[in-house]
Amino acid sequence: MAPAMPLTPKDDLPGPHPSFIEVAKSYIFEQQIRQCMAIIHMNENREEAVRLQGVNWIDQVRKALQLPVKTFHTAVVYYHKFRLVHSDSEYQYQDAAAAALFAACKIEDTLKKSREILCAAHNIKHPAQEWFTPDDPVSTPVFEQPSKVIIGLERLMLEANGFDFRNRHPDTMCVKLAKWCGFQKEDGMTAYYICIDLYRTFAPLKQTTTCMAIASVELAARLRDFPLDRVVGENGLEYDRWVVTRAEIMETLLDLLDLYTHNKQYTIIGNEFPLDKFIAVRIALNQEVTAKNLPRYTNWRSAPVSDADSSSPTTTKKPANGVKTPASRNGLTPRSPTRDTPATQPSPTAGISPSAVYATRQIGARGQEGTVRFMLDAVRAIKEKELVERYFRVEEEEYEVEIEVANPPARNTSADKTGGRRDGDRERERDRDRDVRSHGRDRDIVREKERERERERDRHGEREGHRERERDRSPRRDRDGYRERDRYAERERERERDRERRR
């Protein structure tokens, strides 16, 4: 008989972990980007330098390997999202760029080995006499360790992107819109190169494919002095048809102008036009922004400024183009983004935790405690979170109990100090006795349950001992039966011998 189950569950044993859910984010807005940078303590100037160096490294290696532009687009997006999660002190930007390009080659079906990527990067920096080939035995010790690093970072790249393989390629749309507007070959090439330079900013994380293509075409038209009536206005591109707004296109244009104004040496067409040309275009756009009262950044949610935001380690530069930011309109500064931190809300750096009991952590740390699951459907993740939370919700009920307390006897003021202390000790003892009696019933119930379990265990032990004794008696009974049968057979044989003698 099995031992009796305890009457009360063992609350000290932890239950199963509800697992974490990471929801893929197709779009990440400026407010979220700044919040992620503040969490990883990334300085804005440092971030801009590392971003441009990494994208430039990807572009050079991509050209050396003759990879298509779509692979470049995917690699840069993965590189940007990876840097929003991991601090620059955890990796070298060359390793992160190589891992992003390695993952993009698999996603876009332009397969390249990690050795080939490292070999191309090595050959770019060295003269022809020191070039290596991927299958050269001499290059094996050179590329062995970096290759392992790239393969290890590839997993982090996919996790930072939420295993979302949906990518946007605005170059094709840009070429089609340039043809529709009547661009010449030189104008169309300028728009195409602007579309590639756009990936050196965070615009690919924030905008749609059509928005990036239209912004590239418009900026090319302004730089080439092309008639704007075919691009902007009633006879131009229809924004409603392409499901874009003027505010989104203006944000993309200003991001491009910031890039060409401050870091034109890292771009493709930055050196083809003088700086005065970019400033003139910026002035025209600033006038339109002021006239139409457009925000600098779209999809910006307002909230009160907190002390934690005011002490953010990031430094926010004022817009060089003179455009009013949301701070000038709603009393906020861009360094106080109001999006909830990734520790409490779904974001590119944090998933939806199914239970409030388990705090959200980084993906690697969360994977040590429970399973991290990646989803593309945010609605399904929210429904599953609500369903699981019902099983991890702790409900408590508070109630008040009135206990009658007898009035203590009056103290004898004429007693000496020693007697007064003795009376005070007695009163404290009586108070403790009352508390014990008030909770005595609960303890008696618990003790009775414990005694019942002890008695059940004793009865079970007695039954087991009885069974053991029965098993021990069985062999002895068999031996006694054999001996009795042998005696009976011996007596029968004696009787037979007597009968024979008598005959």
Type of residue found at 479: R
Q: Which residue has the higher pLDDT, 3 or 390?
A: 390
Q: Which of 265, 292, 319 is the last residue of a domain?
A: 292
Any idea which of 49-53, 134-138, 364-368 has the lowest mean pLDDT?
364-368
> Does one domain contain both 151 and 201?
no
Tally of structural domains, the chain: 3
Closest CA to 117 of 53, 70, 157, 61: 61
133 Rama sector, left if φ>0, alpha if ψ -120 to 50, beta otherwise = beta
Closest CA to 193 of 251, 268, 132: 268
Q: Which of 272, 292, 312 is the last residue of a domain?
A: 292
Give the H/E segment covering residue 373.
strand 372-375
C-alpha–C-alpha distance, residues 15 and 6, integer Å: 18
> Does one domain contain both 123 and 215?
no
> Does one domain contain both 208 and 133?
no
99 in any annotated domain? yes
Tokens of 497: 């011998």
Q: Residues 385-410: pLDDT tens digits?
A: 888 888 878 878 888 888 888 776 66
Sign of the alpha-carbon dihedral angle for 324, 330, 334, 338:
negative
As a whole number of angstroms, the longest Cα–Cα distance in the chain is 151
Any idea which of 47-51, 190-194, 400-404, 429-433 has the lowest mean pLDDT?
429-433
CA atoms within 13 A on the CB side of 389: 14
> Does one domain contain both 493 and 455?
yes
332 in any annotated domain? no
Contact 207, 178 (CB under 8 A): no
Domain that holds residue 127: 25-160
Any idea which of 13-17, 179-183, 334-338 has the lowest mean pLDDT?
334-338
Any idea which of 151-155, 313-317, 403-407 has the lowest mean pLDDT?
313-317
Give the residue-averaged pLDDT of 422-449: 69
> Does one domain contain both 145 and 69?
yes
C-alpha–C-alpha distance, residues 155 and 167, integer Å: 18
Any idea which of 169-183, 421-435, 449-463 has the lowest mean pLDDT?
421-435
Q: Residues 226-268: pLDDT tens digits?
A: 999 889 988 889 999 999 999 999 999 999 999 999 999 999 9
Give the residue-averaged pLDDT of 74-80: 95
342 in any annotated domain? no
Question: What pLDDT, on a 0 to 100 scale, did the predictor assign at position 476?
Answer: 59
> Does one domain contain both 49 and 117?
yes
Most confident of the ranges 5-19, 374-388, 428-442, 469-483? 374-388
> Does one domain contain both 118 and 196?
no
> Residue 207 sits in a domain of what CATH number?
1.10.472.10
User: pTM, whole model, 2 decimals?
Assistant: 0.64
C-alpha–C-alpha distance, residues 246 and 231, integer Å: 12
**Percent of the chain whose predicted confidence (pLDDT) is above 90:** 38
Question: What pLDDT, on a 0 to 100 scale, did the predictor assign at position 69?
Answer: 95
> Does one domain contain both 128 and 246?
no
Contact 360, 344 (CB under 8 A): yes
Give the number of residues written for the chain. Answer: 503
Question: What pLDDT, on a 0 to 100 scale, did the predictor assign at position 294?
Answer: 92
Residue 357: pLDDT above 70?
A: no
Beta pairing partners, 294: none
Q: Residues 21-57: pLDDT tens digits?
A: 788 888 899 988 999 999 988 888 889 999 999 999 9
454 in any annotated domain? yes
Any idea which of 117-121, 164-168, 327-331, 413-417 has the lowest mean pLDDT?
327-331
The torsion of the CA quartet 386, 390, 391, 394, rounded to 10 degrees, works out to 130
277 in any annotated domain? yes
> Does one domain contain both 143 and 185?
no
Question: What pLDDT, on a 0 to 100 scale, did the predictor assign at position 320?
Answer: 43
75 in any annotated domain? yes
Sign of the alpha-carbon dihedral angle for 258, 262, 268, 271:
positive
| DSSP code string of 33-88 | HHHHHHHTT--HHHHHHHHHHHHHHHHHHHHHTT--HHHHHHHHHHHHHHHHHS-G
**Percent of the chain whose predicted confidence (pLDDT) is above 70:** 74
Enumerate residues 6+ apart whose C-beta is below 8 A from 382.
352
C-alpha–C-alpha distance, residues 73 and 169, integer Å: 7
Question: What pLDDT, on a 0 to 100 scale, did the predictor assign at position 3?
Answer: 44
> Does one domain contain both 132 and 247?
no
User: First CA to last CA across the chain, in angstroms?
Assistant: 65
Tokens 């005011």 -> residue: 310
Any idea which of 93-97, 105-109, 197-201, 395-399 has the lowest mean pLDDT?
395-399
> Does one domain contain both 137 and 49?
yes
Q: Which of 126, 160, 194 is the last residue of a domain?
A: 160
Task: Quote the DSSP letter at residue 235.
Answer: T
122 in any annotated domain? yes
Residue 376: pLDDT above 60?
A: yes
**pLDDT-based confidence at 382, cuts 50/70/90?**
confident
Closest CA to 22 of 354, 340, 372, 388: 372
**pLDDT-based confidence at 473, cuts 50/70/90?**
low
C-alpha–C-alpha distance, residues 117 and 97, integer Å: 10
Question: What pLDDT, on a 0 to 100 scale, did the predictor assign at position 291?
Answer: 94
Question: What pLDDT, on a 0 to 100 scale, did the predictor assign at position 4?
Answer: 45
C-alpha–C-alpha distance, residues 340 and 309, integer Å: 11
Kind of pairing, strands 372-375 and 20-23? parallel
Q: Which residue has the higher pLDDT, 131 or 284?
A: 284
Residue 308: pLDDT above 80?
A: no
> Does one domain contain both 116 and 241?
no
Enumerate residues 6+ apart whose C-beta is below 8 A from 334.
30, 31, 34, 297, 316, 325, 326, 327
Question: What pLDDT, on a 0 to 100 scale, did the predictor assign at position 197?
Answer: 96
Residue 339: pLDDT above 50?
A: no
394 in any annotated domain? no
Contact 217, 181 (CB under 8 A): yes
